Chains A and B, each alone.
Chain A
Amino acid sequence: MKRKYLSTPYIIWVIGFTLFPLITIAVSAFTNDDGAFTWDNIVAISEPINRQALLFSLAIAFGCTLICILLAYPTALFLKSFRFKRKGFTIFLLVLPMWMNFILRILAWQMILSKNGILNFILGKFGLTPLAISNTWIALMIGMVYDFLPYMILPIFNAISDIDEDLIEAARDLGAGSFTVFRKIIFPLSMPGMLSGVVMVFVPAMTSFVIADILGGGKLQLIGNIIEQEFMKSMNWHLGAGLSISLMLLVLIGLAFTMRNDMEEKGTAIW
């Protein structure tokens, strides 16, 4: 009886903010202006322009995830080895920027990278040639990595922290060197964390459009930008919804594929 009441907020939330919107989107996606059933909006993802944007999004999301892993893993290892009493504080410093609105932070990057921006000002002080990376995919990548990195560090760090010290000591007793310990113990046991990190970085990177809008100067077109345009500018909600559904399905299939092994072991620990 009691449990039934506890579930109320969850049920309201899921119905109101997951199921209802999803159904609305699905209905929109599978109908045309006359309300008749159609597959057109779903298949539209394979049209040249949409496909190009999709591939570009994939490439950007993949690159962003990879860079995040390369930056996050050493960071997580470092944080784990940190013997400072207040380990929480070092992590807090990492998360602190996330307390500020992300659009503002991306706008700050726009200022840093722009032609007469802070970066080029500093380069100029050292007599170096200014960089022209504003409004290019490099700027987009910087913004994305900056924004999503904490979502990669935290789950990896949590996974590594959870590793039983005894396992590592046992390995060492049996003569394993640092590299072997890492390869055989730490790395495999940190996989669930890394996978959560991948989900939390790859999916938003794949579907975002605001960062591309701000740092791409309207010249870069991710699939998210196309969907946004269908909704906000072209007022073609059916097509926008169709593309969203296709994208969602692609992401789901991709995740199912990635998670297949992980599910069996530890389940999807999202954090």
Chain B
Amino acid sequence: MKKVIYAAAILLFGIFALGGCGKEEPKEYLTVFNYGEYMDPDVIDQFTEETGIGIKYEEALTPEELYAKYSSGAISYDLVCSSDYMIQRLIQEGEAQKVDFSSMEYADNIGDRFWEFSRAFDPNNEYALPYFYGTIGILYDTTKVNGPIDSWGVLFDGSYKNDIIMQNSQRDTFMITLKYLGYSLNTSDEGELREAQELLIKQKPDVQAYLVDEARDEVVAGNAAMAVVYSGEAYLGHEYNENLAYVVPKEGSNVWIDSWIVTKNCKNIEAAQKFLDFLCREDIATKNFEYIYYSTPNEAVVANMDEELKNDPAITPTEEDMRNCEVCTQIDEDVVTLYNELWKELKADGGE
């Protein structure tokens, strides 16, 4: 059934694609799979103009959706961009093929520390090319707190009652607590996870709400003093309320990296490498950065950034900020089950 739908979708897409280009038809094509709104459309056109290689561009909203579409096999993708843990899964399942990054002209633009972080899911840096990254931290209203914040502790010491917004997501919320307690965010130790849950239960009465997308908005609107948010969200928050500040607490946090891989089905490896190299080129990476405003691992872009952006921890976290940060890796099935249990218990606590 799914295949029929995809076939119909491709057919439709094909008709539009054909209708669109009356001029010369590219001889080779790459099928690129990415998150929605995650690449400047001009970049795709420019690539085709410069190289004569056409791009069939497919989008997904979440890593899970991306994985489901990918594994249905309806479309044979050449290049896939996804989040660290999903890239890890794809590599482990043998879906990626090795890429010779050293032969690429612009791969050096990607900073060393990002290759290092990548090792969490791609131990020998053979498969994944970092695309964008970010951190999780505290977005706070400087008029509502006493002095600058530098620790996750403010969320747990009871000094901001009913003024805290937490993330409504298991992994993120536990991550914060684990880091605060000095554990790894990839721990599978039941004792450590239970300790984290205990702290979260104790904290629950002080939490105004557990939100995802609205977390930032509540701080922008002045309904809460602080919220746990993704760095990309924090940057956009400044635009609405200039009293906001973002910090990656000193205990460390989660750094997420979205990366590109070349799939095992890709026949035209040369073209795929060309595309990846193209994405690393300074002007192209700048274009994408200015379209998305997440942190870019491309140091050539960072070097030429406005001072304001360069000093914004939401856009350009310092080495210091990143010192204790970790990448989330896949956790075992039974740990996932434990997480689900602990989360349900947390949510049920204090219920009527």
Q: Complex Cα distance A233/B204, Å?
A: 20
Which one of A48-56, A93-101, A255-263 is at the interface?
A48-56
Q: Complex Cα distance A52/B344, Å?
A: 11
Q: How far is the CB of B164 from chain A (nearest CB, A)?
A: 11
B210 touches A217 (CB 8 A): yes
Assess whether B323 is interfacial by the CB under 8 Å rule.
Answer: no
Which one of B40-48, B217-225, B258-266 is at the interface?
B217-225
Which one of A161-169, A184-192, A218-226 is at the interface?
A218-226
Assess A114 versus B348: contact at CB under 8 Å? Given A135-B208, A217-B210, A218-B168.
no
B352 touches A56 (CB 8 A): yes
- In the complex, chain A residues 215-269 whose Cβ is within 8 Å of any chain B Cβ: 217-221, 225-226, 229, 233-234, 236
A132 touches B209 (CB 8 A): no
Closest to B221 in A: A116
Q: How far is the CB of A9 from chain B (nearest CB, A)?
A: 21
B209 touches A217 (CB 8 A): yes
B223 touches A221 (CB 8 A): no
Closest to B170 in A: A233
Assess whether B345 is interfacial by the CB under 8 Å rule.
Answer: yes
Q: How far is the CB of B49 from chain A (nearest CB, A)?
A: 41
B351 touches A52 (CB 8 A): yes
Q: How far is the CB of A69 from chain B (nearest CB, A)?
A: 21
Q: How large is the interface on B (under 10, 10 to 19, 20 to 34, 35 or more residues)?
A: 20 to 34
- In the complex, chain B residues 296-352 whose Cβ is within 8 Å of any chain A Cβ: 336-337, 340, 343-345, 347-348, 350-352
Closest to B223 in A: A115
For the residues of B in contact with A, the DSSP-based class is mixed
- In the complex, chain A residues 31-82 whose Cβ is within 8 Å of any chain B Cβ: 49, 52-53, 56, 59
Q: How far is the CB of B67 from chain A (nearest CB, A)?
A: 11
Q: How large is the interface on A (under 10, 10 to 19, 20 to 34, 35 or more residues)?
A: 20 to 34
Assess whether A137 is interfacial by the CB under 8 Å rule.
Answer: yes
**Which among A52, A219, A236 has the highest number of chain B CB atoms within 10 Å?**
A219
Contact partner, B221, options A114, A132, A221, A225, Cβ 8 Å: A114
Q: How far is the CB of A251 from chain B (nearest CB, A)?
A: 20
Q: Complex Cα distance A194/B58, Å?
A: 51
Q: Which residues of chain A have C-beta atoms less than 8 A from B31's C-beta?
A: none
Q: How far is the CB of B228 from chain A (nearest CB, A)?
A: 12
Q: Which residues of chain A have C-beta atoms less than 8 A from B223's C-beta?
A: 114-117, 134
B211 touches A217 (CB 8 A): yes
Q: Complex Cα distance A220/B343, Å?
A: 13
Name 17 interchain pairs, CB-CB below 8 A, sorted by A. Answer: A52-B348, A52-B351, A56-B352, A115-B223, A115-B224, A116-B221, A116-B222, A116-B223, A134-B208, A134-B223, A218-B168, A218-B347, A219-B204, A219-B347, A233-B343, A234-B336, A234-B337
List chain B positions with a Cβ less than 8 A from chain A.
162, 168, 170, 204, 207-211, 218, 221-224, 336-337, 340, 343-345, 347-348, 350-352
